[in-house]
């Protein structure tokens, strides 16, 4: 007599048939306050992500009980915003730790696939002009297309113990190059650079530099701090201002560039997996880079949905190595001429 063989579901074994999971009740059953406190975002935002990512998260599976896109998204948001695979989070959603990990991987991949849809420079002239006008309204700095800077995110030591990821503080990290607009929305995000690279070396090798040197973005420039070299498309502060015009230029530059520092603080505050308060990202550099980029995509989507970029103050202690650099003054005579013309035209 043949004995039937049961296919066991690990989540079913862990939680039993009576365990209440988010696959078994609708989001309408919980309050917005609960969703925001547990997953970091309100109901309509989560519905939008389900519509956006649902097809990618509904891939064929051999499992007897596939996890719904809705539950996968909630699991990933719980990790991104809390910074840890807490047992409580798995209990809340009704899935195992292993399933939590799979959900985060699936949602991260789906968001990274859509990064270029949400993180990009504007192309039409009207939007570019609006971008410049928004920056000019901050502190009177003209022609600004974005502000650029780097930020470090701590990761676990790679299996190969690759020293290229050891930053100036002796910690393993990724050095992430980002550009934002006056609202704090990201226009570019390169999250894969090893932590040992100084900011100027990251920018030198970045796709962002190729874009500007190939004139893909015309009639304007980025603002960068003194860790970068002055370029025809990148205005940096003067090392030792002497004239009133130079002081006014530096003050306007600093006030405008501060937008990206506030953006970094907001991203770290919103996505606690990046701020170091729960430890380093426990993934390979490649997977960690994808998680950072996924959070960047969510940051921009949240802005599109009216979630205020400055609404929450920064917490946590994401490791940020102090840069030890000499003043990066350019020998590019054309870049110096452009900055001098800017001083004479707008700050004299």
- Please report the pLDDT score of residue 32 as a whole number: 86
- Give the other-Cβ count within 10 Å of 174's Cβ: 26
Q: Alpha-carbon distance 20 to 108, whole Å?
A: 25
Q: 22-31, 123-132, 198-207, 262-271: which has the minimum mean pLDDT?
A: 22-31
* pLDDT tier at 90, thresholds 50, 70, 90: low
Which one, of 310, 314, 311, 321, lies nearest residue 272 by Cα? Answer: 314
pLDDT digits (tens, 9 = 90+) for 155-176: 999 987 678 999 999 999 999 9
- Please report the pLDDT score of residue 60 as a whole number: 61
Q: Alpha-carbon distance 138 to 116, whole Å?
A: 27
Write the DSSP symbol of residue 206: S
Angle between helical axes of 125-139 and 244-270 (0-180°, round to 10): 110
Where do we find the tokens 């005579």?
333
Average pLDDT over residues 139-148: 97
Backbone φ and ψ for 160, nearest 5 degrees, come out as: -80, 0
Residue 123 CA: distances (Å) to CA of 126, 148, 332: 9, 18, 28
Which one, of 72, 81, 70, lies nearest residue 29 by Cα? Answer: 70
Helix (H, G, I), strand (E, B) or coil at 28: helix
Q: Alpha-carbon distance 23 to 70, whole Å?
A: 8
Q: Is the pLDDT of residue 12 over 70?
A: no
* pLDDT tier at 238, thresholds 50, 70, 90: very high
Share of the chain above pLDDT 70, in %: 81
Q: Is the pLDDT of residue 317 over 80?
A: no
Instruction: Walk across the sheet containing 186-194 and list its strands.
Output: 186-194, 173-180, 144-154, 221-223, 234-235
Token representation of residue 322: 């102090």
Q: Alpha-carbon distance 188 to 26, whole Å?
A: 36
Ranges 69-78, 133-142, 307-316, most confident: 133-142
Q: Is the pLDDT of residue 276 over 90?
A: no
Parallel, antiparallel, or unpaired: how do β-strands 234-235 and 173-180 relate?
unpaired
Q: Alpha-carbon distance 339 to 166, whole Å?
A: 35
Q: What is the pTM of this model?
A: 0.87
Q: Is the pLDDT of residue 221 over 60?
A: yes
Backbone φ and ψ for 153, nearest 5 degrees, come out as: -125, 125
| DSSP H or E run through 146 | strand 144-154
Which one, of 65, 63, 64, 85, lies nearest residue 76 by Cα? Answer: 85
Q: Alpha-carbon distance 251 to 255, whole Å?
A: 6
Q: 9-23, 60-74, 189-203: which has the minimum mean pLDDT?
A: 9-23
Which one, of 110, 326, 96, lies nearest residue 227 by Cα? Answer: 326
- Please report the pLDDT score of residue 64 as a whole number: 44
Our CA dihedral for 9, 10, 11, 12, rounded to 10 degrees, sits at 50
Q: 124-133, 220-229, 242-251, 315-324: which has the minimum mean pLDDT?
A: 315-324
pLDDT digits (tens, 9 = 90+) for 14-30: 333 333 444 544 677 78
* Partners of 220 in the β-ladder: none
Q: Per this entry, what is the length of the chain?
A: 348
Token representation of residue 211: 């874009």
Which one, of 307, 309, 304, 319, lies nearest residue 266 by Cα? Answer: 309
């Amino acid at each position: 007599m043949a004995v039937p063989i049961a296919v066991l579901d690990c989540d079913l074994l862990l939680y039993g048939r009576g365990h209440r999971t988010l696959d078994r009740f609708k989001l309408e059953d919980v309050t917005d306050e609960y969703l925001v406190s547990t997953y970091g975002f309100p109901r309509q935002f989560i519905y939008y992500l389900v519509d956006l990512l649902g097809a990618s998260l509904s891939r064929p599976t051999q499992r007897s009980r596939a996890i719904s896109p809705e539950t996968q998204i909630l699991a990933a948001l719980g990790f991104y915003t809390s910074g840890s695979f807490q047992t409580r989070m798995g209990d809340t959603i009704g899935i195992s730790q292993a399933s939590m990990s799979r959900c985060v991987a699936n949602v991260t991949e789906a968001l990274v696939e859509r990064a270029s849809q949400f993180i990009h420079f504007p192309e039409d002239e009207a939007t570019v002009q609006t971008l410049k006008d928004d920056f000019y309204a901050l502190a009177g700095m003209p022609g600004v297309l974005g502000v650029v800077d780097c930020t470090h995110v701590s990761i676990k030591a790679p299996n190969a113990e690759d020293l290229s990821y050891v930053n100036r503080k002796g910690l393993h990290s990724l050095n992430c190059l980002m550009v934002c607009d006056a609202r704090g929305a990201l226009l570019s995000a390169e999250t894969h650079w090893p932590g040992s690279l100084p900011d100027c070396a990251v920018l030198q090798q970045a796709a962002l530099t190729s874009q500007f040197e190939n004139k893909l973005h015309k009639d304007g420039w980025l603002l960068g701090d003194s860790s970068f070299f002055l370029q025809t498309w990148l205005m940096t502060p003067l090392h030792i201002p002497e004239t009133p015009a130079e002081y006014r230029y530096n003050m306007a530059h600093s006030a405008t560039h501060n937008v990206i520092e506030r953006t970094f603080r907001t991203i770290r505050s919103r996505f606690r997996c990046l701020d170091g308060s729960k430890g380093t990202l426990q993934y390979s550099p490649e997977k960690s880079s994808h998680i950072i980029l996924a959070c960047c995509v969510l940051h921009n989507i949240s802005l599109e949905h009216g979630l205020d970029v400055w609404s929450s103050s920064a917490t946590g202690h994401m490791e940020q190595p102090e840069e030890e650099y000499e003043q990066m003054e350019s020998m590019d005579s054309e870049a110096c001429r452009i900055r001098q013309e800017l001083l004479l035209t707008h700050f004299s």
